[in-house]
Structure 1
């Protein structure tokens, strides 16, 4: 199955009070670059980064930035496409649909929704979700799960695209995952995979984890 990743990077960073995407991680890379790199290292065929019109894109690795700026299609060496969500302020649904329309144009057989502010997600985690969807052929989607329920990364088959396009406002994929009319497969992932950088306290937890992990190596 040809899965295209949709990396949602058009949030407002309201709770953090500053642009979370460009926050420098301990290795010097931007926080969102960690999420993107995991997607690029995974088995996803393409990755669509959904951004705001005013995004400077400075969080992108230099090679990715140059390749996407100089390419008008998906066939560049980084397998990244930038999609600008002009309606991002209306809610998450608009950004998701912006990326989905690009994926449909490309001819994706399915999409995986990823969040740019979850830097601890790994390529192996993304691959687990992808494999679960491929293996469970009767499932409409495959979603990561922790103690709080199903969450991104979540992969949907192409017949679910119209349902995703029908979402409005701040409705995300969770609305579909909570609908018993659809069949989903769950993939258990470590808690840290879901940590996001919505607040300074949450950002500190991420940084502390990265530093502690580096010391243990």
Structure 2
């Protein structure tokens, strides 16, 4: 069970340019799954798991992403340097003041339609079970995936990421234990192409 003494917030990454969708193509985060834009579905999953505050980092097509999230209890941060890569978006999210006192931060990619609140809660339970001192990562059949909970020991480093450098290199270089939680294929399913969106059951909209 989650430990009430261990606090966990979240960062949802929704700033990317979705280049693999094709030039001038539809935005994967606006594709609808069961009638809901993917980015809203992702945010609702995070909110249902109560990893709060939930910070959404926007960038490319910011206004449309924000419109899709309207009415949800989220903290929105715009990464003006989103074109430089995921590292800058991670840093932007981790710099949010609402996350400063959190023992852990769940990093959630915006384009993972198969992740459920139960998956997130399993990661949270494992993070609490290890006293908030381990990296807890979703996996599938031995392959590391997402989401990932980053413990406080790495938060300062996360705030200083830049360019396309992500969390994986920091995790590898740290001496922190890494706990993999097998949640099945959902851990590896992101939708980076038109074909992937359709195969996952999405309908392209904007």
- CA distance in 1 between counterparts of 2:130 and 2:99 reads 26
- CA distance in 2 between counterparts of 1:105 and 1:154 reads 15
- The SS at the match of 2:95 is helix
Is it true that 1:87 corresponds to 2:73 in the alignment? no
Residue equivalent to 1:55: 62
Q: How far off is 1:29 after superposition?
A: 1.1
Residue equivalent to 2:38: 31
- CA distance in 1 between counterparts of 2:48 and 2:132 reads 27
Q: Which sits farther off after the overlay, 81-90 or 187-196?
A: 187-196
Residue equivalent to 2:145: 151
Q: Does the 8 Å CA contact 2:147/2:187 hold for their aligned counterparts?
A: no
| Matched positions, count | 193
Residue equivalent to 2:90: 96
- CA distance in 2 between counterparts of 1:46 and 1:110 reads 11
Q: How far off is 1:185 after superposition?
A: 1.0
* Superposition TM-score, scaled by structure 2 size: 0.85
- CA distance in 2 between counterparts of 1:180 and 1:94 reads 20
Q: Does the 8 Å CA contact 2:31/2:197 hold for their aligned counterparts?
A: no
- The SS at the match of 2:11 is strand
Residue equivalent to 1:75: none
- CA distance in 1 between counterparts of 2:97 and 2:184 reads 28
Q: Which has the higher contact order (CA 8 A, sep 6+)?
A: 2
- 1:95-129: per-residue Cα shift (whole Å, max 9, x none)? 00101000566532221100011121101111111
- CA distance in 2 between counterparts of 1:109 and 1:177 reads 16
- CA distance in 2 between counterparts of 1:93 and 1:136 reads 26
- The SS at the match of 1:63 is coil
Q: What are the equivalent positions in structure 2 for 1:34-183 lying under 5 Å apart? A: 34-52=41-59, 54-56=61-63, 57-60=66-69, 62-64=70-72, 78=73, 80-103=74-97, 106-137=100-131, 139-147=133-141, 149-179=143-173, 181-183=175-177
Q: How far off is 1:177 after superposition?
A: 3.1
- CA distance in 2 between counterparts of 1:82 and 1:46 reads 11
Q: How far off is 1:83 after superposition?
A: 0.8
Q: Does the 8 Å CA contact 1:120/1:194 hold for their aligned counterparts?
A: no
- The SS at the match of 1:174 is helix
Corresponding residue to 2:193 among 183, 195, 199: 199
- CA distance in 2 between counterparts of 1:193 and 1:159 reads 24
* CA-based RMSD: 2.1
Q: Does the 8 Å CA contact 2:99/2:105 hold for their aligned counterparts?
A: no
Q: Any gaps of 5 or more consecutive residues in structure 2? A: 1-5
Corresponding residue to 2:184 among 158, 183, 190: 190
